[in-house]
Amino acid sequence: MKQAIRPNAKDDILRQFRYYLLKDEFDVANRFLEAVEESTEALCRMPHIGTPRHFKNPVLVGLRSWAVKGFEEILIFYIVESDTLRVVRILHGKRDLKKILEAEFDDDPPLPPV
């Protein structure tokens, strides 16, 4: 299965990476990047292992979440479409997930089928 990472999810990764760098936790920052890659690869192998999530936004039908390995408070939100794992966002679990995810596609048209 291939993966597609939405721009906001890429921004999420960079934001978390920079956060660790600003705290002078260079090893943690690098481990985080490796853990995200390892976790998304695991999801590509077993895409339905994540927890189903339910939101009002119809574009998010089928949304699932899975923790980043070793960073369990940071969740990967993704949708499985045909042969593609679409990573929608990567967010800390203490954020207002409902608000962030339901607004995710407000300015974007729905994703085309893969």
Indicate the number of domains in the chain.
Answer: 1
Please report, rounded to a whole number, the percentage of residues in the chain having pLDDT higher than 90.
Answer: 73
Q: Kindly report, residue by residue over 16-56, the tens digit of the pLDDT.
A: 999 999 999 999 999 999 999 999 999 999 999 999 998 77
Domain assignment present for residue 38? The answer is yes
CA-CA-CA-CA torsion for 30, 25, 68, 73, nearest 10 degrees?
A: -170
Structural domain span for residue 71: 2-102
Q: What pTM did the predictor assign? A: 0.87
Token pair, residue 15, equals 């934001």
Domain assignment present for residue 112? The answer is no
Q: Where does the pLDDT of residue 107 fall: very low under 50, low under 70, confident under 90, or very high at 90 and above?
A: low
Mean pLDDT, to the nearest integer, of 50-68? 88
* CATH code for the domain in which residue 25 is found: 3.30.2310.20
